[in-house]
Structure 1
Amino acid sequence: MPWLRMMAASAVSTVLIGTSAVTTAAAPDPRGVRDSVHTAGRIKASGDVLQYSWPGVYFEGRIRGTGVGVVLDDPAADYDVQVDGSTVATLVTPGKTTHWVRGLRDGEHTVRLVKRNDTPWNTSSFGGFVAAPGGAVLTRPAAHSRQIEFIGDSLTAGYGNLSPSRDCDGEQLKRTTNADVSYGALTARGLRADYQLNAYSGQGMVRNYNGGSPEVNYRTFYDRALLNVPGDVWQNPGTWRPQLVVVHLGTNDFSTPVNPGEPWTDESLAAAYRSAYSGFLAKLRQRYGASTTLLAVGTGPFAGHVDHVVRERAGAGDRRVRYWPLDTSGLDYTGCHWHYSARDHRLLADRLTAFVADLPIRW
């Protein structure tokens, strides 16, 4: 499936829809950003901001008053701002700014900020929510008891899922990618679960799309919070203990023929993929323990390899590893470059939710 490596966006600040945005400084909540918002994403505290890189990272807060400011420093990513469950603004590469949502009913409100696209070359920074004069930042929303981690590539990131056409230039791709309506986000919210979307476009388990960047693969980046910082390691605060981990990797490994000069034959690529996949599942098992269900997704040319790995691990005694043969019937692939459309993501979320319902997950 075609994949276009996204180049860094220019540092412009644009509001597509919503209320006013200003760049005047606003001080974050004195209790500290980390204590005033809820997030399940991979973040790293740096002074008075939270830094992050993965798509779909979200922050949830509560305020009292008639307005809320969103403190950001991000020249590359796009965001949705949601108040009381409704999207009130879409911010395009906002840069360093405080975006204000004004004119709210005077009272208590929930606010949610979500990173729409994958910008692995950039480190994003969030400085918290601030209340309009006369208001206050309230205690953060409670975390959900259910947690799901999604691991994948562009198909999991929501690559170009809002595009009206398959043919996309780089700018259209950036504006029409929305991880918040990906199958993972939809599934998790439907199950009332917190979630991580640890997805990286173009990366494979052992081979990236069309053999690109052979010195790295998805596993190079999995442990990081900040994707563009070599050697970075995300420090789990102890609160991330997913009951379900969904792995959807293999499209980039096998969607294009092996090129001359690549160190693979079809047979050696398949063997390396199975070996790496088994090792990756073992890593997840060691990290999250015996009670976490690992769900390996298989489809197309790599379905048999994933099924083989799952059977092998189950035969060796791993009682909570499962195989999900992804049903692609009815998908239109009208997102950018033949990726899942928003409609496809909705169908897949419904199918995944039904499949998960029959698993012995210890929620």
Structure 2
Amino acid sequence: MKNPTHRGRRGRHRRRWTATALLLGVPAAVVPYLLFAQEDSQAATVDGDAYYRLVSVRSGKVLDVKSFSTADGTRIQQYADQSTANQQWKLKDAGDGYYELVNRNSGKVLGIAGNSTAKAAAAEQQTDSSATSQEWRIDEVSGSDAVTLTSRRSGQVLDVSGGSTAQGAAVIQYPGHGGANQQWKLVRATGVPDQAHTAGVLAQVHTAGRVKDLGNTVQYSWPGVYFEGRVRGTGVGIVLNDSAADYDVQVDGTTVATLVTPGNTTHWVNGLSNSTHTVRLVKRNDTPGSTSTFGGFVAASGGAVLSKPAARNRQIEFIGDSLTVGYGNLSNSRTCTGDQLRRKTNSDVSYGALTARQLNADYQINGYSGRGMVRNYNGGTPDVNYRTFYDRALLNVAGDVWQNPGTWRPQVVVINLGTNDFSTAIKPGEQWTPDNFAATYRDAYVGFVQKLRTRYGADTTIVAVGAGQYASHVQQVVRARNDAGDSRVRYWSLDDSGLDFLGCDWHYSAHDDRLIADRLTPFIAALPTGW
């Protein structure tokens, strides 16, 4: 390797260094730090297979890719050390004493936005293009174990903006001035972090929901999707990118936070006892026009994400409309604004979720507000209906198809579709007439049941729920299937006695959901499921 030109600056002296550990006579407190033997006549070398944390001398925080993102253009910030993969960097030799900093989580490199040479241009992660703005010279600060990192392109150094010590402060390039906010300690990362970001989210969490696996993240749209994990230590971070949905965070069975449209963030729950904890994240509401993204759980510094909880042996799928979603069920008024509706909807206390938990079953809440088996509420958007979206993982992506990983084989499927079909009168101009609509509904229902039977096999029991105006039609569907030899299609009459319908727009309240669950649970428990 060629010797780079010495560019001394007042107040510091750059030395070449090698990754030669001083193994004898090192105090215990210094062991985590990679100590460098100074060699003025030899080229700098590092362990090309190792990862390092870059710790700001001023703040004590580390160089971090915001929110565990793997996307190009994600800004670099300083953040409290969590020993996670997005805070670990491999130093890849770029020649002439320069290195690329390769992020362990994303595989991308630290560069300067727009290949800029401007003062205070932002640092970000980028796909490696061998640009000189992605290459950094490492210079030792005289008399300390700190270093500076100088951009090959601009000659400016890596700097925490404004000398800030704040969590999330931006990292930029800036002319060198000798400040501690431009100095970094290289701390070798020991071992492989036990985090989802090195093995994929689904290797770390249990979920039964319809998710699209992207490796370091998963995407989803349906309400009630939940993720369960285990961590050891005093804190846990929840990595999310979702500006539409709300979530509950539950630790050891207790809700510790409700996240309202959290955006692109890592939400931390700290102050836990230094022990093993169960963590559950659940999507509260339905946001069919948006895609939600979960990036896994991360443990606080000194802790670890443990092996994921085992899947439950029992599985129930709930298919329905807003009544299945839990639409406005936490409201104390039937009149709700749009914002109140979103905040007061909680699929985790819908009758389906409650029933499943009483039976210790994994579950899916595949509910879509406003949709019917053939006709949506008040005849709206007649070109689509519930069946249009059923096969999707991402409801807002036309043609999307959920890829069942082979683990979802529900013993019970509960269908509750019909309220939107029949709750309003057929209007002039609709494609049906009052005389032929009921037959169209029944035919579609029979076809949908046959689709489920083909998908899940002869051993799955399909429960068809009837209530109000559509009850008799559902009964006819069940009789038709039974007459065709399918004895595992069962009818369940939803008894609405005692329901107060105090949810938004006369939907079930949380009280109603509990009452329905208490009635549905023994019915399912008595089915020939082998439970």
- Same fold by TM-score greater than 0.5: yes
Length, aligned pairs only: 341
- Bigger Rg, structure 1 or 2: 2
| Match for residue 268 of structure 1 among 431, 436, 455 | 436
Q: Does 1:90 align with 2:132?
A: no
Report Cα offsets for 1:29-56 as digits up to 9, x if no partner: 2221110000000000124110000000
Q: CA deviation at 1:287?
A: 0.4
Report Cα offsets for 1:312-361 as digits up to 9, x if no partner: 10011002110001100110000000000000000000000121122212
Give the 3-state SS of the residue equivalent to 1:25 in structure 2. helix
Q: CA deviation at 1:24?
A: 4.8
The AA in structure 1 aligned to 2:283 is K
Corresponding residue for residue 136 of structure 2: none
Rounded Cα–Cα distance in structure 2 between residues aligned with 1:156 and 1:76: 20
The AA in structure 2 aligned to 1:260 is P
Corresponding residue for residue 458 of structure 2: 290
Corresponding residue for residue 529 of structure 2: 361
Kindly indicate whether the alpha-carbon contact (under 8 Å) linking 1:203 and 1:252 is maintained by their aligned counterparts in 2. Answer: yes
| Match for residue 479 of structure 2 among 311, 329, 332 | 311
1:315-326 alignment, distance < 5 Å: 315-326=483-494
Rounded Cα–Cα distance in structure 2 between residues aligned with 1:358 and 1:100: 42
Rounded Cα–Cα distance in structure 2 between residues aligned with 1:250 and 1:178: 21
Q: Does 1:165 align with 2:207?
A: no
| Match for residue 350 of structure 1 among 518, 527, 530 | 518
Q: Does 1:281 align with 2:446?
A: no
Give the 3-state SS of the residue equivalent to 2:435 in structure 1. helix
Give the 3-state SS of the residue equivalent to 1:328 in structure 2. coil
Q: Does 1:25 align with 2:25?
A: no
Corresponding residue for residue 354 of structure 2: 186
Q: Which has the higher helix share?
A: 1
Kindly indicate whether the alpha-carbon contact (under 8 Å) linking 2:231 and 2:279 is maintained by their aligned counterparts in 1. Answer: yes
Kindly indicate whether the alpha-carbon contact (under 8 Å) linking 1:291 and 1:362 is maintained by their aligned counterparts in 2. Answer: no
CA RMSD of aligned residues (A): 1.0
Report Cα offsets for 1:1-59 as digits up to 9, x if no partner: xxxxxxxxxxxxxxxxxxxxxx9534452221110000000000124110000000000
Rounded Cα–Cα distance in structure 2 between residues aligned with 1:68 and 1:217: 40
Rounded Cα–Cα distance in structure 2 between residues aligned with 1:295 and 1:166: 29
Report Cα offsets for 1:244-266 as digits up to 9, x if no partner: 00000000000001112111112
Rounded Cα–Cα distance in structure 1 between residues aligned with 2:303 and 2:199: 15
The AA in structure 1 aligned to 2:348 is D
Identity of aligned residues (%): 72
* TM-score between both structures, scaled by the size of structure 2: 0.64
Rounded Cα–Cα distance in structure 1 between residues aligned with 2:418 and 2:402: 24
Corresponding residue for residue 237 of structure 2: 69
Corresponding residue for residue 83 of structure 2: none
Rounded Cα–Cα distance in structure 2 between residues aligned with 1:24 and 1:31: 19
Report Cα offsets for 1:160-217 as digits up to 9, x if no partner: 0001100001000000000000000000000000000000000000000000000000
Rounded Cα–Cα distance in structure 1 between residues aligned with 2:465 and 2:284: 23
Rounded Cα–Cα distance in structure 2 between residues aligned with 1:362 and 1:243: 9
Give the 3-state SS of the residue equivalent to 1:72 in structure 2. strand
Rounded Cα–Cα distance in structure 1 between residues aligned with 2:405 and 2:476: 34
* TM-score between both structures, scaled by the size of structure 1: 0.93
1:112-261 alignment, distance < 5 Å: 112-261=280-429
Corresponding residue for residue 207 of structure 2: 39
Q: Larger relative contact order (C-alpha < 8 A, sep ≥ 6)?
A: 1
- Stretches of structure 2 that go unaligned for 5 or more consecutive residues are 1-64, 69-85, 87-194
Give the 3-state SS of the residue equivalent to 2:67 in structure 1. coil
| Match for residue 108 of structure 1 among 276, 280, 298 | 276
Q: Does 1:57 align with 2:225?
A: yes
Corresponding residue for residue 96 of structure 2: none
Could you list the structure 1 runs, at least 4 aligned residues long, displaced by more than 6 angstroms after superposition. none
Kindly indicate whether the alpha-carbon contact (under 8 Å) linking 1:72 and 1:98 is maintained by their aligned counterparts in 2. Answer: yes
Corresponding residue for residue 3 of structure 2: none
| Match for residue 81 of structure 1 among 230, 249, 257 | 249
Give the 3-state SS of the residue equivalent to 1:67 in structure 2. strand
